[in-house]
Structure 1
Amino acid sequence: MKPLRTVIISGLFFCAAANAAPQHALTLYDEPPKYPANFKHVDYVNPDAPKGGTFRESAMGGFDSLNPFISKGVPADNIGLIYDTLAQQGLDEPITEYGLIAGKIEKAPDNSWVRFYLRPEARFNDGHPVHAEDVVFTFQTLIKYGSPIFRTYYADVDEVVAEDPLRVLFKFKTTTNRELPLILGQLPVLPKHWWAERDFAKGSLEIPLGSGPYTVAEVKPGRSIRYERVKDYWGKDLPINKGLYNFDYRITDYYRDNTVALEALKAGQFDFWQEISAKNWANAYNVPAVAEGRLIKEEIPNGNPTGMQGFVFNIRKPMFQDVRVRKAISLLMDFEWTNKQLFSGAYTRTRSYFENSDMAATGLPGPDELAILEPLRDNIPPAVFTEAFEPPKTDASGMIRAQQREAYQLLQEAGWRIVEDKMVDASGKPLSIEFLLAQTEFERILLPFKRNLADLGIDLEIRRVDVSQYVNRLRSRDFDMLVGSFPQSSSPGNEQREFWKSSSADNPGSRNYIGLKDPAIDQLVEELIDADSRKSLVAHAKALDRVLQFGYYVIPNWHIKTYRVAYWDHLGHPNVSPRYDVGVATWWIKPDKAAAVPLETDTTADPASGGD
Structure 2
Amino acid sequence: MRSDYFSLKGLSSAISALAVSAQIGAAEPQHGIAMYGDPQLPPDFVSLPYANPDAPTGGRIVTGEVGGFDSLNPHIPKGSVPWQLRFLAYESLMGRNYDEPFALYGLLAESIEVGPDRDWAEFVLREEARFSDGSSVTVEDVMWSYETLGTVGHPRYHGMWDKIASVEQTGERSIRFTFSEEDRELALLVGMRPILQKAQWEGKDFAESGVTEIPISSAEYVIDDFEPGRFVSLRRNPDYWGKDVPFMRGQGNLDEIRMEFFGDGTAMFEAFKAGVLNSNREFNADDWDNRYDFPAIDSGDVVKSVLPHERPSGITGFVMNTRNEAFSDWRVRDAMLHAFNFEFINETMTGSKQPRITSYYSNSVLGMRDGPAEGRVRELLEPFADELLPGALDGYELPVSDGTERNRANIRQAIALMEEAGYTITDGQMMTPEGEPFTFEIVLSQGSAENEAIIDLFTQSLERMGISPTVTTIDSAQYKERTNNYDFDMTYYRRGLSLSPGNEQMLYWGCDGVEAPGTRNWMGMCSPAAEAMIDTILNSRSREEFLAATRALDRVLTTGRYVIPIYQWNISRVAHVKELKYPEELPIYGDWIGWQPDVWWWEEE
1:338 aligns with 2:345: yes
Cα distance, 1:203 vs. partner?
2.4
Cα distance, 1:15 vs. partner?
4.2
Q: How does 1:148-547 map to 2 (within 5 A)?
A: 148-175=155-182, 177-205=183-211, 206-362=213-369, 363-386=371-394, 388-438=395-445, 439-547=448-556
2:602 to 589, 595, 599: 589
Structure 1 residues 272 and 5: alpha-carbon distance in aligned structure 2, compared to 1, 3 A threshold: farther
Cα distance, 1:5 vs. partner?
6.0
Measured in 2, the distance between the counterparts of 1:308 and 1:99 equals: 31
What is residue 586 of structure 2 aligned with on the other side?
577
The answer to whether the 8 Å contact 1:111/1:178 transfers is: yes
The answer to whether the 8 Å contact 2:117/2:184 transfers is: no
Residue 340 of structure 1 aligns to a residue in which SS?
A: helix
Measured in 2, the distance between the counterparts of 1:77 and 1:144 equals: 21
Aligned residue pairs total 589
Residue 479 of structure 1 aligns to a residue in which SS?
A: coil
The answer to whether the 8 Å contact 1:308/1:355 transfers is: no
Measured in 2, the distance between the counterparts of 1:394 and 1:462 equals: 24
What is residue 22 of structure 1 aligned with on the other side?
29
Structure 1 residues 538 and 10: alpha-carbon distance in aligned structure 2, compared to 1, 3 A threshold: farther
Residue 537 of structure 1 aligns to a residue in which SS?
A: helix
Structure 1 residues 326 and 146: alpha-carbon distance in aligned structure 2, compared to 1, 3 A threshold: same
The answer to whether the 8 Å contact 1:277/1:441 transfers is: no
Structure 1 residues 522 and 9: alpha-carbon distance in aligned structure 2, compared to 1, 3 A threshold: farther
What is residue 3 of structure 2 aligned with on the other side?
none
Cα distance, 1:47 vs. partner?
1.5
Measured in 2, the distance between the counterparts of 1:510 and 1:311 equals: 17
What is residue 130 of structure 1 aligned with on the other side?
137
Residue 453 of structure 2 aligns to a residue in which SS?
A: helix
Measured in 2, the distance between the counterparts of 1:331 and 1:53 equals: 50
The answer to whether the 8 Å contact 2:339/2:462 transfers is: yes
Structure 1 residues 5 and 309: alpha-carbon distance in aligned structure 2, compared to 1, 3 A threshold: farther
Percent identity at matched positions? Answer: 35
Measured in 2, the distance between the counterparts of 1:405 and 1:6 equals: 63
What is residue 560 of structure 2 aligned with on the other side?
551
The answer to whether the 8 Å contact 1:77/1:252 transfers is: no
TM-score by length of 2: 0.94
435-444 or 75-84, larger mean C-alpha shift: 75-84
Measured in 2, the distance between the counterparts of 1:137 and 1:26 equals: 24
Structure 1 residues 581 and 505: alpha-carbon distance in aligned structure 2, compared to 1, 3 A threshold: farther
Cα distance, 1:18 vs. partner?
2.2
Which amino acid in 2 is paired with 1:518? Answer: S
Structure 1 residues 483 and 153: alpha-carbon distance in aligned structure 2, compared to 1, 3 A threshold: farther
TM-score by length of 1: 0.93
Structure 2, unmatched stretches of 5+, are: 1-6
Cα distance, 1:168 vs. partner?
0.7
1:145 to 121, 135, 152: 152
Measured in 2, the distance between the counterparts of 1:580 and 1:134 equals: 31
Measured in 2, the distance between the counterparts of 1:469 and 1:40 equals: 46
483-492 or 73-82, larger mean C-alpha shift: 73-82
Measured in 2, the distance between the counterparts of 1:525 and 1:575 equals: 36
Structure 1 residues 345 and 63: alpha-carbon distance in aligned structure 2, compared to 1, 3 A threshold: same
Q: Compute the RMSD of aligned alpha carbons.
A: 1.7
The answer to whether the 8 Å contact 1:346/1:560 transfers is: no
Measured in 2, the distance between the counterparts of 1:178 and 1:401 equals: 50
* CA-to-aligned-CA distance 1:457-486 (integer Å, 9 cap, x gap): 011222211111111110111111011122
What is residue 70 of structure 1 aligned with on the other side?
76
459-468 or 261-270, larger mean C-alpha shift: 459-468
* CA-to-aligned-CA distance 1:200-239 (integer Å, 9 cap, x gap): 0112212111010011111211111111111110001111
* CA-to-aligned-CA distance 1:403-448 (integer Å, 9 cap, x gap): 1111111111111001121101122211112111112221111222
Structure 1 residues 2 and 440: alpha-carbon distance in aligned structure 2, compared to 1, 3 A threshold: farther
Residue 342 of structure 1 aligns to a residue in which SS?
A: helix
Structure 1, unmatched stretches of 5+, are: 594-612
The answer to whether the 8 Å contact 1:475/1:509 transfers is: yes
The answer to whether the 8 Å contact 1:434/1:461 transfers is: yes
Measured in 1, the distance between the counterparts of 2:334 and 2:292 equals: 38
* CA-to-aligned-CA distance 1:302-338 (integer Å, 9 cap, x gap): 2221211121000011121111111011101111112
229-238 or 511-520, larger mean C-alpha shift: 511-520
What is residue 117 of structure 2 aligned with on the other side?
110
Structure 1 residues 153 and 313: alpha-carbon distance in aligned structure 2, compared to 1, 3 A threshold: farther
Cα distance, 1:137 vs. partner?
0.4
338-347 or 7-16, larger mean C-alpha shift: 7-16
* CA-to-aligned-CA distance 1:7-47 (integer Å, 9 cap, x gap): 21486665443221100001012x23221101111221222
523-532 or 400-409, larger mean C-alpha shift: 523-532
The answer to whether the 8 Å contact 2:250/2:599 transfers is: yes
Residue 349 of structure 1 aligns to a residue in which SS?
A: coil
Which amino acid in 1 is paired with 2:208? Answer: K
Residue 206 of structure 2 aligns to a residue in which SS?
A: coil
What is residue 602 of structure 1 aligned with on the other side?
none
Q: How does 1:75-94 map to 2 (within 5 A)?
A: 75-80=81-86, 81-94=88-101
1:567 aligns with 2:573: no
Measured in 2, the distance between the counterparts of 1:577 and 1:545 equals: 27
Measured in 1, the distance between the counterparts of 2:461 and 2:303 equals: 39
Structure 1 residues 10 and 411: alpha-carbon distance in aligned structure 2, compared to 1, 3 A threshold: farther
Measured in 1, the distance between the counterparts of 2:508 and 2:100 equals: 24
Residue 251 of structure 1 aligns to a residue in which SS?
A: strand
Measured in 1, the distance between the counterparts of 2:513 and 2:540 equals: 21
Which amino acid in 2 is paired with 1:48? Answer: D
The answer to whether the 8 Å contact 1:45/1:243 transfers is: yes
Measured in 1, the distance between the counterparts of 2:51 and 2:379 equals: 44
The answer to whether the 8 Å contact 1:422/1:456 transfers is: yes
Residue 509 of structure 1 aligns to a residue in which SS?
A: coil
Cα distance, 1:384 vs. partner?
2.0
Structure 1 residues 2 and 92: alpha-carbon distance in aligned structure 2, compared to 1, 3 A threshold: farther
